[in-house]
Structures are given as structure tokens and as C-alpha cells.
Amino acid sequence: MPRVLVAYGSRYGTSEEIANHMATILREHDIEVDVADLRSRPSIDLENYDGIIVGSGIKVGRWTKEAEQLLKELAGAPSKVKIGVFVSCLQVLTNPEGTHSSYLDEKLKKMGVGADIGEAFSGKIDFSSESRMGMLDKRMVSMAAKEMEQKSGIEIDRNGVNDFRDWDAIETFARTFAALCTPSENRAD
Ligand SMILES: Cc1cc2nc3c(=O)[nH]c(=O)nc-3n(C[C@H](O)[C@H](O)[C@H](O)COP(=O)(O)O)c2cc1C
């Protein structure tokens, strides 16, 4: 059975939920999956995996530092290991190509990582009373949201949950990655 690690850096829980959903889909495809919250500094042996997915939320243009650290390590991963990379963010709603280029392509190039698959997913912004955002975060996002609304016509609820995640796209990513990690003679398709 192929073994895959899904590792994430998530400030507000969005990428965490994406990673967990990917793990569910991968398991449906007979993949053994470990999920790792990179904030807890897990020790990861890259040699143990046929595939590694690393994902991060974006804050002020930045990956979480823990996810960035794992990316650095992936530059030295054995070449047999398949690599999947994702970010969750909001800019992708208004500028998909620019987002892919700045948050994925340029980042991977800088880190010297060759990914087999990379995707920028639209994320979630939560202004509700359950939100993990502090006052400062809310103010910052509120200002950015105004520009987003003008550019795209998307309305942001300043009191509720704005979940822009495209679960079909997330599942497609996971299925594609499962196929990449499965020897062709064992594939269902
Ligand atoms: C304070 C703050 C700053 C953000 N900055 C950006 C940004 O620079 N670019 C972007 O595309 N999204 C930005 N976002 C949106 C987040 O990337 C989005 O909410 C994402 O889903 C968060 O993922 P996480 O919960 O896994 O950290 C920001 C969100 C917050 C709260």
C-alpha cells in the first residue's frame, strides 16, 4: 500500500480542514495516510513516504514558517517521492494566475522544490464570534475585502463565515495525487 503524508501549516484552521479532507479521499484510494500539523513540530522521515503533500494558509503574502521549513527539506527528498503542494488564500478569487505564480511557482523555485502537482485553493474568512481571527486580523482583512468586493463583485459578510473553498477542486487534487503515488498495475482506472 502506498504511504502518503499530508502536512499542513494553518493559522485559522482552513488548510487543516483541507488537509483532513484530502486524507479521507486518499484513504478511499487505498493509500495509507499520516496527517501532520506542522505547528506541533512533528519529526518527519521523508524516506518513509511514497508521497508528501504540504499545504499552507497565506497571511500577508506568507506561508506559515513551519510549512516553509518543510518545503526546504523537500528540496532534498529522494526523487522517488511524489510532491504535492497547496496554499489556501483569498487572492486566488480575484487573480488566479498571479496567485499561482507568486504563492506557488516563485516559492517553489526559490526553495528548489520540483512539485508534481500544485494548487492555490480559495480559502475561508470567518468574521463570526467563533473566529480565530483577532481584532487586528479582522481589521486588516476587512480593508482587503473592500478591494476584493470592488474587483470581483463577491460580497464578504463582515459578521459571518465566508467559506470560498471549492471541495470538488480539493478532491480532484487528492485523487490525482493518489494516482501519482499508486503503481500503474494497482490502479483502479
Ligand atoms: C490577517 C490575514 C491576512 C491575510 N492575508 C492574505 C494575503 O496576503 N493573501 C491572500 O490571498 N489571502 C490572505 N488572507 C486570507 C487567508 O489566506 C485565508 O483566510 C486562508 O484560508 C487562511 O488559511 P489558514 O486558516 O489555513 O491559515 C489573509 C487572512 C488573514 C486573516
pLDDT at res. 79: 87
Average pLDDT over residues 117-123: 98
Burial label for 185, CB within 10 Å (0-12, 13-18, 19+), is exposed
Domain ranges of the chain: 3-123+164-184, 127-162
What is the average pLDDT score of the chain? 95
65-94 in b/e form (b: 16+ CB < 10 A) is ebbbbbbeebeebeeebbbbbbbbbbbbeb
| pLDDT band of 77, cuts 50, 70, 90 | confident
CA 126 to ligand 1: nearest atom: 19
Q: Which of 27-31, 97-101, 176-180, 184-188 has the lowest mean pLDDT?
A: 184-188
Measured by CA distance, the residue closest to atom 4 of ligand 1 is: 59
Domain 3-123+164-184 has CATH 2.40.50.140: no
Whether the pLDDT of residue 158 is over 70: the answer is yes
Average pLDDT over residues 11-28: 98
Which of 58, 60, 166 is the pocket-test mutation for ligand 1 (most atoms within 8 Å of CB)? 58
Measured by CA distance, the residue closest to atom 16 of ligand 1 is: 89
| pLDDT band of 153, cuts 50, 70, 90 | confident
Whether the pLDDT of residue 188 is over 70: the answer is no
pTM above 0.75, yes or no: yes
Average pLDDT over residues 32-53: 95
15-38 in b/e form (b: 16+ CB < 10 A) is bbbbbebbbebbeebebebebbeb
Which of 59, 95, 154, 165 is the pocket-test mutation for ligand 1 (most atoms within 8 Å of CB)? 59
Average pLDDT over residues 116-134: 96
Whether the pLDDT of residue 189 is over 70: the answer is no
Measured by CA distance, the residue closest to atom 18 of ligand 1 is: 89
Average pLDDT over residues 158-167: 96
Average pLDDT over residues 112-121: 97
Report how far ligand 1's centroid is from the alpha carbon of 121 (Å). Answer: 11
pLDDT at res. 179: 97
CA 140 to ligand 1: nearest atom: 1
Cβ–Cβ < 8 Å for 67, 7:
yes
| pLDDT band of 187, cuts 50, 70, 90 | low
Report how far ligand 1's centroid is from the alpha carbon of 130 (Å). Answer: 17
Whether the pLDDT of residue 68 is over 70: the answer is yes
Average pLDDT over residues 4-9: 98
Residues 138 and 117: their CA atoms lie apart, in Å, by: 32
Ligand 1 contacts (CB < 6 A) are: 10-15, 57-61, 88-91, 123-125, 133, 137, 140-141
